[in-house]
Amino acid sequence: MSQVESHLIQIEGEAKSNIVRNRLGKLVSKGHKTYTPTQLVVDRAEGIWLWNLEGQKLMDFASGVLVANLGHQHAYFEERFAFYAKGLPRNAYNVLTAVEVEAASRLIDSFALPKMEQILWAACGSAGIIKAMWAAQRYHPDRHLILATRYGFHGKKGLAGDVTGDKSQNPNVRWIDFPMVKDVRDKPNQTLKVKVLEQLNRLREEYPNQISMLVTEPYLGAKGSYHPPDWYLRTINDWCNDHQVIFILDEVQSCHGRTGEMYATTKYGLDPDLVVCGKGIGNGEPIVAVVGRADLLSTFDYGEASDTFSGTPRGCAATLATLDTFETFPILDNCCQAGQVIEKGLCQLTDEFSFATRVRGEGLVWGLELESDSIANQLVLACYQQGLHLIGPLAGNVLRISPPLIISPTEAEAGIGRMRRALQQI
Ligand SMILES: Cc1ncc(COP(=O)(O)O)c(C=O)c1O
């Protein structure tokens, strides 16, 4: 038998959790987890709280990875989910269910936009992006070029990976700039608008009638939480409309309330041809939806965009339960209020600690930039000791703050207090 070394972390005083860390390290590929210096072993989760095997209670500042927008075990969500899921088959690969029709209809209606006409399900965010890109390629078979915004993240697989980052193996991908405003307190630079339009027009002149689509996201999450000035998305959306370039907006992360409104699409007054919703759509049930123009999504024949786990009955039930919960509780208002507390608190932390340098974000998706990768990793561990769970740093030195949207402003303030105490230990 080959020797497989345990790759996971051990934390002093956590005998039970260390056993799980060790066993998982041997039994599950390292590639399955994204690095986080705490490797928290969760025993139980409720609302915004997580308990480890030692019984320590931690505030969840991650929501999985911006997935559990309604928190864990939300009573109303769970009740609605059970209601919609009752008696359904486990899979509906080649059968139809009413719950799928209802989920598609409610999701389309939730945008209240004329281009939102049809749904294509997927089982993960990158697959949703790939399916949206396939639709654009089919619609424009004579246009081979794909535009993407530099440093975006759309997934690791196939075409989604091709439009991630700033280099592509795909010879048909061209990049345009995404304005990277360094701090929420900085004034956006208006000259960038001219530069972005120049880039787009230059590409169009160089490749007349060859650009099929433009893929972007409302903010650069994985690159370190860069949120563009208000004009940016509308400007590129208009350019796409003017030149029949399919505008694909990746709302895999921002959908279902993260930015303080249900969708960044409506927050920024956009009319994309295709929107991809992921993470928060089912509050943790794996379901993804490409939503958009019927003439694009109907380019597929039977089976051409299907797969085993796309649009499962339980995924559709969770989609409906999520929408019910947003309609019943003032979650978006709460997100905005708690978001303001987080913004103010993080800005104060940058005033108090010289190695906490910048703050970027909106709604309840924030990034705190630290002076170095090492400090960022130390801070994740120090926060853990203070009872605050964070995911590993983004882009090396940016801490992601993304609690469930149900966190109260008072709890958000308490979370910032835990971060302050952790910063004092660095
Ligand atoms: C904006 C964005 N797009 C696409 C993806 C890929 O989603 P998945 O990991 O479900 O394939 C992610 C995942 O983090 C994301 O944040």
Q: Looking at the structure, tell me whether residues 89 and 217 fall in a common domain.
A: yes
**Which atom of ligand 1 lies at the shortest distance from residue 288's CA?**
10
**Has residue 361 been placed in a domain?**
yes
**Has residue 241 been placed in a domain?**
yes
Half-sphere exposure of 49 (CA within 13 A, CB side): 9
**pLDDT in 10s for each residue of the chain, 426 residues:** 444 455 678 999 999 999 999 999 999 999 998 999 999 999 999 999 999 999 999 999 999 999 999 999 999 999 999 999 999 999 999 999 999 999 999 999 999 999 999 999 999 999 999 999 999 999 999 999 999 999 999 999 999 999 999 999 999 999 999 999 999 999 877 788 889 999 999 999 999 999 999 999 999 999 999 999 999 999 999 999 999 999 999 999 999 999 999 999 999 999 999 999 999 999 999 999 999 999 999 999 999 999 999 999 999 999 999 999 999 999 999 999 999 999 999 999 999 999 999 999 999 999 999 999 999 999 999 999 999 999 999 999 999 999 999 999 999 999 999 999 999 999
Spacing, Cα 275 to ligand 1 middle (Å): 13
pLDDT in tens, 165-216: 999 999 999 999 999 999 999 987 778 888 999 999 999 999 999 999 999 9
Q: Looking at the structure, tell me whether residues 237 and 89 fall in a common domain.
A: yes
**Has residue 9 been placed in a domain?**
no
Does the CB atom of residue 152 touch ligand 1 within 6 A? no
Domain end point (choices 305, 328, 351): 328
Cα dihedral sign for 161, 164, 169, 171? positive
Residue 49 dihedral angles phi and psi, to the nearest 5°: -115, 145
Q: Looking at the structure, tell me whether residues 197 and 284 fall in a common domain.
A: yes
Q: What's the confidence (pLDDT) of residue 5?
A: 52
**How many folded domains does the chain comprise?**
2
Q: Looking at the structure, tell me whether residues 315 and 396 fall in a common domain.
A: no
| Residues 199/147, Cβ–Cβ less than 8 Å | no
Q: What's the confidence (pLDDT) of residue 1?
A: 42
Does the CB atom of residue 253 touch ligand 1 within 6 A? yes
> Of the residues 131, 153, 159, 164, which should be mutated to test ligand 1's pocket, given the most ligand atoms within 8 Å of the CB?
153
| Residues 226/178, Cβ–Cβ less than 8 Å | yes
| CATH label of the domain that carries residue 149 | 3.40.640.10
Q: Looking at the structure, tell me whether residues 200 and 84 fall in a common domain.
A: yes
**Residues 6 or more apart whose Cβ sits within 8 Å of residue 218:** 227, 228, 233, 249, 250, 251, 254, 259, 264, 267, 268
Structural domain span for residue 175:
77-328
d(CA 55, CA 398): 28
Share of the chain residues as helix, strand and coil, in percent rounded to the nearest 5:
40, 20, 40
Does the CB atom of residue 217 touch ligand 1 within 6 A? yes
Q: What's the confidence (pLDDT) of residue 6?
A: 52
Strand ranges (E), 238-348: 246-251, 274-277, 288-292
d(CA 319, CA 418): 33
**Residues 6 or more apart whose Cβ sits within 8 Å of residue 24:** 8
Other beta carbons within 10 Å of 4: 11
**Which atom of ligand 1 lies at the shortest distance from residue 155's CA?**
6
Q: Looking at the structure, tell me whether residues 322 and 176 fall in a common domain.
A: yes
**Has residue 145 been placed in a domain?**
yes
d(CA 261, CA 230): 14
Other beta carbons within 10 Å of 14: 20
Q: Looking at the structure, tell me whether residues 294 and 407 fall in a common domain.
A: no
Q: Looking at the structure, tell me whether residues 50 and 82 fall in a common domain.
A: no
| CATH label of the domain that carries residue 46 | 3.90.1150.10
| Residues 291/132, Cβ–Cβ less than 8 Å | no
